[in-house]
Structure 1
Amino acid sequence: MAMTGFRDAQPMSVKIPADIDRPDKILYGLTLRQLTILGGTAAILLWALLTFGAVVPFPVRVGLLLPVAAGGCVLAVARRDGMSLDRFILAAAAHLRRAREQVAAGDEGVQAPPPWCRMRGRLPAPLQLPVRAVRGDGAMALAEGGTAVIVRAGTVAFGLRTPGEQAALVGVFGRWLNSLDAPVQILVQARPVDLTGLADHLTRLAPELPDPALEQAAGDHAAFLTELGAAHDLLVRQVLIVISDTTHAPQTSAGLPWPKNRRERAARDAGAAVALRRAEETVYALTALGITAEILDADACTAVLAEALSPGESQPVDNSGPDDVITAQEAHDATHA
């Protein structure tokens, strides 16, 4: 009876605000930023009234100051794409000032053309990637200092669990969140999946099955996968957890991917060890939830970064060594291979 009552309990409901970083309300439901904008607008209106009150007629003053008051109110209250209007305007201005074209450049930056060459427009800006280097164990050296590790996790069918199981899952996940002492980014991606390779694999191995009925079933399943991939745009969900360590974040001298100084290298290695340990703890915590998780190594991290920078594009395969000289003939042979 106790187990039956436990299973028939009402599902647990927890209200979580959509914007957890929402600023506090100070006065009349307005934040400090909104009060500052409205106070500045009121100060400008008062200064204009005191300065031009005896010179400009009242109707003219109202016509000139009314747009200023309306603009201040709109700037303080309006929002665009979940962002306050003033921050949206600042972000738009920064985006317009940013160079449209970026190229890979060394420490000297993008070289200007010779004086005899007439150039139209602006020079491209140097491309600043967020990751400088990736170690063999998967620790990434960030451009702004510090290290980060990526954990790939699966998903769990939360809606199919009983209320008691849901409460247990929420409790374990909450304990993991409370154990975090550094910023963690959780990225959920929906990527297209191609079932052609799986269908070809089944078709190729079907004749090796011992029973003709199994061979027929494998062929039918391969045909079903091919038809399913041709009729629908299939997506697969991927969850990436980026765990960073910024306690040891020395600035790398001379823009090198990994520091050459012994002290800086030791601090960077310590930060990588801390990030890897936190990643292992995350894998253990997610395993307790029944979620398959793994720490990405260097090759997997490189593939994830390349996919994030150029989604949907095929990445070339680099089979050469670090010190090998790549020629046009070798690249041509590698392409045909």
Structure 2
Amino acid sequence: MTREPYATRIPADIDREDRVLAGLTARQVAILSGTAAVLWAAFMATRHLVPPLVFIACCVPVASAAVAFALVRRDGLSLDRLAIAAVKQHLTPRRRIPDDVPATPDYLATVAPPPPAPLALPATGIRADGLIELGDHGCATMIACGTVSFALATFGEQEAMVAGFARCLHGLSSPIQILVRAERMNLAPLAERVFDAAPTLPDPQLEAAAQEHAEFLADLATRSELLWHQVLLIARDPETTSEADSGPALRQAENIAAALTAIGIDARVLNGPAVASILATACDPNNPTPCSVTDIDEVITGR
């Protein structure tokens, strides 16, 4: 007995705002109705002084801007939110440092550029077990995940993957975030290590092949910009504070990793040094990540 594949409709945006009137959200209704009320009040105040056609001509740009702010969206955000974010970004200091900013001397205040502002990171600390302390927002754990080819799986395998992922989601009691990040890759350390290890190989042909491969890596690093992708799952536990025991948060992360492993996704909970390395790299995107190489005595597998 064979079963036909079935499709289930899932909303693309689960955080979509509720529609309250004529397919508009409460925010859109507030913008449009507020603009209409202001324009009507302006018309009533100037109807004896300004001809109606002139008033309408002056109102068209204002009304058009209000409609654009309310209805037009870019990158999933409305124009009013983008405008507010642009104003905040313009007023925010461009340079930030993690410590307190010293006061600028009075004799330099008029000629010196604006001093850097304190950098307030959401993470207040990283424990050795990998728990990220978030202050009043609880703690978070980071899980490094692999990928699985869903399209190449059979129908039964796809059903098993979907059911396993559904069990993983149903078992959650706190928010999670799935992050796919890309970083530039630096092949220079790998090429240098291969070139240095080539003379130690037992066969001259292997040595020549290693040197040729090192030259290829060095040439590849100079000719193109290489990227590597990493999939991270961040699970936050609002109940685990900085002073509380990290056991429940770590058990939840281990359960998530086990559930993902059951459906064929390599997943492991990162410890403190690994989490600190990822956060440091994210704060310095202009520094390419060195490419790691397997140790000589380590067995290379397909995973």
What's the counterpart of residue 267 of structure 2?
A: 293
CA distance in 1, matches of 2:172, 2:199: 47
1:120–1:217 distance in 2 versus 1, CA, 3 Å = closer
What residue ranges of structure 1 are gaps of 5+ in the alignment? 250-264, 317-337
What's the counterpart of residue 105 of structure 2?
A: 114
Q: Which of the residues 269, 272, 281 maps onto 2:244?
A: 269
What's the counterpart of residue 181 of structure 1?
A: 173
Q: May I ask how many residue pairs the two structures share in their alignment?
A: 284
What's the counterpart of residue 28 of structure 1?
A: 22
Query: What is the CA deviation profile of residues 278-304 of structure 1, one whole-angstrom value per residue up to 9, with x for unaligned ones?
Result: 111111111101122111111111110
Q: Which of the residues 57, 75, 82 maps onto 2:76?
A: 82
What SS does the aligned partner of 2:101 have? coil
| Contact 2:148 2:264 (C-alpha < 8 Å) held by counterparts | yes
Q: CA deviation at 1:219?
A: 6.2
What's the counterpart of residue 260 of structure 1?
A: none
Q: CA deviation at 1:313?
A: 1.6
What pairs with 1:158-237 in structure 2 (closer than 5 Å)?
158-193=150-185, 197=190, 200=194, 204=198, 207-208=201-202, 220=209, 223=212, 227=216, 230=220, 233-237=225-229
What pairs with 1:11-22 in structure 2 (closer than 5 Å)?
12-22=6-16
What residue ranges of structure 2 are gaps of 5+ in the alignment? 291-303
1:90–1:155 distance in 2 versus 1, CA, 3 Å = same
**Aligned amino acid, residue 27 of structure 2:** R
RMSD, aligned α-carbons: 3.0
1:192–1:61 distance in 2 versus 1, CA, 3 Å = closer
**Aligned amino acid, residue 29 of structure 1:** G
The answer as to 2:227 corresponding to 1:238 is no
| Contact 2:184 2:289 (C-alpha < 8 Å) held by counterparts | no
Q: Which of the residues 31, 38, 51 maps onto 1:57?
A: 51
CA distance in 1, matches of 2:79, 2:132: 35
CA distance in 2, matches of 1:13, 1:205: 58
| Contact 2:140 2:249 (C-alpha < 8 Å) held by counterparts | yes
Query: What is the CA deviation profile of residues 173-219 of structure 1, one whole-angstrom value per residue up to 9, with x for unaligned ones?
Result: 111112211111111123344566388189649834xxx6xx85796
Query: What is the CA deviation profile of residues 201-256 of structure 1, one whole-angstrom value per residue up to 9, with x for unaligned ones?
Result: 89649834xxx6xx85796588468637716654432111111111244xxxxxxx
1:144–1:70 distance in 2 versus 1, CA, 3 Å = same
Q: CA deviation at 1:122?
A: 2.5
Q: Which of the residues 264, 278, 282 maps onto 1:308?
A: 282
TM-score, normalised to structure 1's length?
0.74
Mean Cα displacement is larger for which, 156-165 or 228-237?
Answer: 228-237
What SS does the aligned partner of 1:169 have? helix
Mean Cα displacement is larger for which, 37-46 or 54-63?
Answer: 54-63
Q: CA deviation at 1:153?
A: 1.1
What pairs with 1:140-159 in structure 2 (closer than 5 Å)?
140-159=132-151
CA distance in 1, matches of 2:145, 2:266: 6
1:162–1:133 distance in 2 versus 1, CA, 3 Å = same
Query: What is the CA deviation profile of residues 108-147 of structure 1, one whole-angstrom value per residue up to 9, with x for unaligned ones?
Result: x322123343443422211112222211111121255421
What's the counterpart of residue 252 of structure 2?
A: 278
